[in-house]
Structure 1
Amino acid sequence: MRILVALYLFVIAAGCGPHKSLKISVINPADSSRADQPAVLSRAWIDSFSGKSCECMIPVIEDSNFVLIPSQCDDINKDGKWDELAFVISLRPKEEKILSLRWVKKEKAPKYKMRTNIRFALIDNGNYNETFSAVRLKGTDTRYTSTILQMEGPAWENDKVGFRNYFDERSGMDIFGKITPDMVLDSVGINASYHEMQPWGMDILKVGNSLGAGSIALLIGDSLYRVGPGCKGTYELLFEGPVRSSLRLGYSEWKINDRNYSITHDITIWAGSYGYENSVSVAGAKGDESLVLGIVNKDTDSLMITHYNNRFVSLITHDRQSISGEFLGMSLLLNAVDFKNADSTSRTKGEIIETFYAQLHLPMDQPVFYSFFAGWEKTDSLFASKEQFLGLLSYQSYLRSKPVIIHIKN
C-alpha cells in the first residue's frame, strides 16, 4: 500500500496526472469563407483550462465527427518543451466549429501529411547533408555558392509555392513555382536543373542584383544598403511540421560607417498559403533608418499600391515576369501603420538595382511584420489574370482584419 501511495504521489509531482479534455469554439466573423486558416493556441492558454501539462503527453485536435485535424506542437523558445499548438482550419462565412482537444502519449502521436517543409543541405563530395544551423558564405558568386549549398541556401515550401534564400552576401530571395502539392525541395537541384521545367515546377524568378522576392535592406538618409555584406550571417531551423515551418536568418556585427547593427529575420510558411510570413528585428538602430522590403522589377514597369481600410497596404506587380514568360504576380502585404512610402532603385547603377521597394518605419523595440505572396499561372491558371491576383491580396487583407475568434466552449 505504501508503495502504491508513493508511486501515485510521484506521478502527481511529475505533472503526469490526468489531463482534462477541452471543447474549443472557433468562429469565423467574416462574410467570406476561409480555407486553411492558421490558428495557434499557446500552451499557457491550454494549461489554464486543462491543467498543467507534462512532457509525456501532447494535445491533438478533433472535429465534431471525431476526425483528427492535422496539428503540431512547436518549441518556440528552444528550451526543449513545446510552447504552441498550431493547426489550420477551413470555415464557411460566419461559421462556428466546435473542436475537441484531447491528450495522447507523445510516442503515440498521430503522423500527418507534411504540407510544409524546410530544406538546407551542404554538398560534400557529391553527398547532400541536411543541416539545421550554418554560417553564411562570403562572396556573391553563384558559381561558388551552388557547389557548396544545395539550391544555394535554405529553401522553404508548402503545397502551393516554394522560396529560397541565397545564403551568401547577396541575401536575395527567389521563388520556386510549383505544379504539385507534394513536398519536393529535399531533392531539388540534385539530379536535374531547377532552372528548367521539372515534373514539380521550376525556379521562376530572375533575381540578379535586386531584392528579389521580399528581401530586406536598410535606408539611411538617401543611401540604400543591402543587409549584411561583410558581417556574420547565420541560419537556424526553428521548427518544421505538417502545417507550418519556420527558420531564422541572423546578421550580426554589421557595420555601416560608425553604426553597428544586428538583425533577426524569422520566416514562417503555413500550409495552403501562396506566400510566407516575416518578422524582422533590428538592434542598434539610431532612429533615422527605414526598413526596406523589395520586389524585383526586371520584367515589369508597373507597380500597384493598394490601401485596405487604413489597416493594410500592398505593393503589387503582375506581368509576364517569370523566367519562362508566364504571368507571375508578386506582392508585399504590410501593416499600414508601418508604411512610409514606395520607390524604386535605378535599373543599372548601385548596389541594389531593378527593385520596387516599400520604405517602413523601424521601431526601436519591436519587430516589423510583413507577408510576401507569389501567384504563378502554371500553379493556378487564375493567376494569369491581374484581377484574380489583386483579389487574392484583397481577400487576405480582409481576413486579417477579421481574425477568427477562439474560446473555450462550456
Structure 2
Amino acid sequence: MMKYLILILLLSFEELSAQKDGWYTQGSFKPDERIEFVITNNLDVQREHCPVTITREQFPMIDLHEMWVTIVDPELPSFEGPTAELLRLQGGHQLRAETNGHAIYHQLDDLDKDGIWDELFFQVDMPPNSTKSIFIYLGENIRGWNKHYTHANIGSYCRHQMPFWESENIGWKIWFANSIDVYAKRKPVLMSNQLYMENYDGYAVSAHNHDWGSDIQSVANSFGGGAACLFEFPDHPDSVSMPRYTPKKLQTVPKSYWNAGQVSDTRFAYEVVVNGPVRSIIKIKAFNWDTGNGFYEYEQFYTAYAKQSYCTSKIVYKTILPNTPDVRMGYGFRKKKEEELFVQEGGMVVSGGPESIKDPENIDDRKEYVVDFVGTGLIVRDEYQPEYQFVEDYKGNHTFRIKSPTNNSFELLLASAWSEGVVYNNKEDFMKYMEKTRLEYNNPLQARFNKIHKKSN
C-alpha cells in the first residue's frame, strides 16, 4: 500500500513540475526556444502587480521584433480557450487555448525613439522572500489583444496643451505648467481621453458619468499634487524657486499663475513616450528657467502603472548654472487644507483629511461637495538622502530637499486616494498602502537572465 502511495505522490510531483517547466503552447503557436529570467523578491511581504523592468542590454539577444516575444508566467492558470461567440467577435487575433502557463501583458518600450525597443516591462505577483521564473518565448505570435489599464496623452484642454497620465484608480494632469492636478475615480476606469476630447470640467465630470469621479486637488499657486523646485538659499531653508514663478523683471507681462511669454520666461514642452497597456509615460521638458539666481533646464518623466494608485517620476537636470553655492534640487506637494493625517518618516511624507471640492472660479451658487478623505503621499528613494522641509509660501507645501542626486537626477513616487474610490478609501488603508509601497519602491524586484532553453535539448 505504501509503495502505491509513494508512486502517486511522485506522479503528482512530476505533474506539478511539468506544469511549471513544461513548454508553453497557444493554439498553433508551439515555440521551440525560450529565454528564462529569474525574478527575486527579497522582502518579507506579498507583492501584487509589482513592476519588472528588463533592459535590452540584459537580453542574450537583442534583435527581436515585438511580435516575436511572448511573456509567460508558468505559475498562472492557462486560458481554456475562447467561446465561439468570443472568437467571432474578436477575430483571428484572439488568444487561443494555452498549456503550461499564461501569457501576461507586457510592453517593449522604445524610450529614446530610435526605432529600437529599450526596455521590456511587465508586472507580477510575488510571495514573500521568493523567486519566480518567467519565460520569454520566441517565435511569431500575432494573437492576444492587450486591454489597456493605463493611458497617457497630450490634449488641448480649455485652450491650452496639457499632458494627462492615469491608471484606473487615479489620474494626473498638468494644468499650471509644472504643478500637478489630481483626479480620482469611483470605479476602476480610464477616462482622461473623455476629459480632453470633450473638454469636460474636471469638477463636474461625474455629471456625465458617475464612475469618472472628480478632480480632488486644489492647486492655484501651490505645488498642487506635485511639483519640482529648487532650494537656492541655505540661509533660508524654506525658500524655494519654482519654474512658473520667475522674477518680475524677467517677465514681459504681469505675474500670474502662468509664466510670461514663451521667449522671455520659462517654457515647457510635453511628449508622450509610452501609452499602455500596463504603463504609460509622459515626458516634460522645462527650458530657459531663470530664477534670478541661476539658470536651469530639466527633463521629467511621469509613469503611471496598471492596478496601482501611484505614479513615479524621474527628474534629470540638463543645465545647472547657479549664481549661489549649495543649490539643492527639490520636490513637494500641497498640504491638505484640513489636514488630519500627517506622517513623515525618512523619505516619505503623507498628508490627508476631508476635502471640499468645488470649481475655484465660484461662478454660481453651487455648494461645495465635501468628501470624507483625500490623501496624497510622496516618497523619495533613500539613496538620494532626502531631507524633509515644510514650505510656508505658496499656500503651504510638504517638500523634500535632495542631498545626493545621481548624475544631476533623482526619482520619486506620488500616490493619491479618496474616500469615494474602491481602494485605500480611508486614512488607515491609505497609510498601509503607502508604507508597503515605500518598502517596494526602495527594494525593486530584481530580474536576472538565467539561460536559453531549446526544445531539442
TM-score normalized by structure 2? 0.71
* Equivalent in 250, 264, 268 of residue 303 of structure 2: 268
Extract unaligned runs of 5+ from structure 1. 1-17, 124-145, 347-351
* Equivalent in 150, 155, 177 of residue 184 of structure 2: 177
Matches within 5 A, 1:70-89: 70-89=105-124
Question: Match for residue 188 of structure 1?
Answer: 195
Does residue 290 of structure 1 match 2:328? yes
Does residue 353 of structure 1 match 2:395? yes
Question: Match for residue 82 of structure 2?
Answer: none
Are the structure 2 counterparts of residues 101 and 381 from structure 1 closer, same or farther at C-alpha, using a change threshold of 3 Å? closer
| Distance across 2 between alignment mates of 1:218 and 1:121 | 28
Question: Match for residue 39 of structure 2?
Answer: 26
Give, in angstroms, the shift of residue 225 of structure 1.
1.8
Question: Match for residue 6 of structure 1?
Answer: none
Question: Match for residue 125 of structure 2?
Answer: 90
- Letter in structure 2 aligned against 1:281: V
Are the structure 2 counterparts of residues 71 and 382 from structure 1 closer, same or farther at C-alpha, using a change threshold of 3 Å? closer
Extract unaligned runs of 5+ from structure 2. 1-30, 75-99, 245-258, 260-264, 358-368, 452-457
Say if 2:347 and 2:388, in contact at 8 Å, map to a contact too: no
Say if 1:154 and 1:167, in contact at 8 Å, map to a contact too: no
Give, in angstroms, the shift of residue 250 of structure 1.
0.7
Matches within 5 A, 1:130-149: 146-149=158-161
Say if 1:328 and 1:375, in contact at 8 Å, map to a contact too: yes
Say if 2:187 and 2:422, in contact at 8 Å, map to a contact too: no
Question: Match for residue 367 of structure 1?
Answer: 409
Matches within 5 A, 1:88-127: 88-105=123-140, 108=142, 110-122=144-156
Structure 1 counterpart SS, 2:229: strand
Structure 2 counterpart SS, 1:154: strand
Question: Match for residue 395 of structure 1?
Answer: 436
Say if 1:176 and 1:203, in contact at 8 Å, map to a contact too: yes
Are the structure 2 counterparts of residues 162 and 104 from structure 1 closer, same or farther at C-alpha, using a change threshold of 3 Å? farther
Are the structure 2 counterparts of residues 289 and 188 from structure 1 closer, same or farther at C-alpha, using a change threshold of 3 Å? same
Are the structure 2 counterparts of residues 272 and 258 from structure 1 closer, same or farther at C-alpha, using a change threshold of 3 Å? same
| Distance across 1 between alignment mates of 2:341 and 2:327 | 24
Say if 2:58 and 2:448, in contact at 8 Å, map to a contact too: no
| Distance across 2 between alignment mates of 1:58 and 1:328 | 44
Give, in angstroms, the shift of residue 57 of structure 1.
4.9
Question: Match for residue 214 of structure 1?
Answer: 226
- Letter in structure 1 aligned against 2:428: E
| Distance across 2 between alignment mates of 1:302 and 1:288 | 34
| Distance across 1 between alignment mates of 2:37 and 2:309 | 28
Question: Match for residue 69 of structure 2?
Answer: 59
| Distance across 1 between alignment mates of 2:122 and 2:352 | 31
Deviations 1:54-95 (A, max 9, x none): 447542201213311100100022111111110011122234
Question: Match for residue 241 of structure 2?
Answer: 225
Say if 2:243 and 2:291, in contact at 8 Å, map to a contact too: no
TM-score normalized by structure 1? 0.79
Does residue 245 of structure 1 match 2:260? no
Q: Percent identity?
A: 20
Give, in angstroms, the shift of residue 401 of structure 1.
4.2
Does residue 43 of structure 1 match 2:56? yes
Deviations 1:26-80 (A, max 9, x none): 232322111101001111212x2xx342447542201213311100100022111
| Distance across 1 between alignment mates of 2:108 and 2:66 | 13
Question: Match for residue 330 of structure 1?
Answer: 376
- Letter in structure 2 aligned against 1:371: L
- Letter in structure 1 aligned against 2:124: I
Deviations 1:193-251 (A, max 9, x none): 32023422111111111101111122211342221442221111111221111111111
Structure 1 counterpart SS, 2:435: helix
* Equivalent in 427, 430, 445 of residue 404 of structure 1: 445
Structure 2 counterpart SS, 1:373: strand
| Distance across 1 between alignment mates of 2:114 and 2:174 | 27
| Distance across 2 between alignment mates of 1:21 and 1:97 | 15
Structure 2 counterpart SS, 1:207: coil
Are the structure 2 counterparts of residues 241 and 19 from structure 1 closer, same or farther at C-alpha, using a change threshold of 3 Å? farther
Give, in angstroms, the shift of residue 364 of structure 1.
7.5
Are the structure 2 counterparts of residues 401 and 218 from structure 1 closer, same or farther at C-alpha, using a change threshold of 3 Å? closer
- Letter in structure 2 aligned against 1:325: V
Matches within 5 A, 1:308-323: 312-321=346-355, 323=357
| Distance across 2 between alignment mates of 1:97 and 1:335 | 25
Structure 2 counterpart SS, 1:234: strand
| Distance across 1 between alignment mates of 2:425 and 2:242 | 30
| Distance across 1 between alignment mates of 2:279 and 2:407 | 26
Structure 1 counterpart SS, 2:241: strand
| Distance across 2 between alignment mates of 1:235 and 1:370 | 19
| Distance across 1 between alignment mates of 2:40 and 2:407 | 33
Question: Match for residue 164 of structure 1?
Answer: 173
Give, in angstroms, the shift of residue 405 of structure 1.
3.2
Deviations 1:152-199 (A, max 9, x none): x1111012211111154xx22111111222221111251643202342
Are the structure 2 counterparts of residues 99 and 335 from structure 1 closer, same or farther at C-alpha, using a change threshold of 3 Å? closer
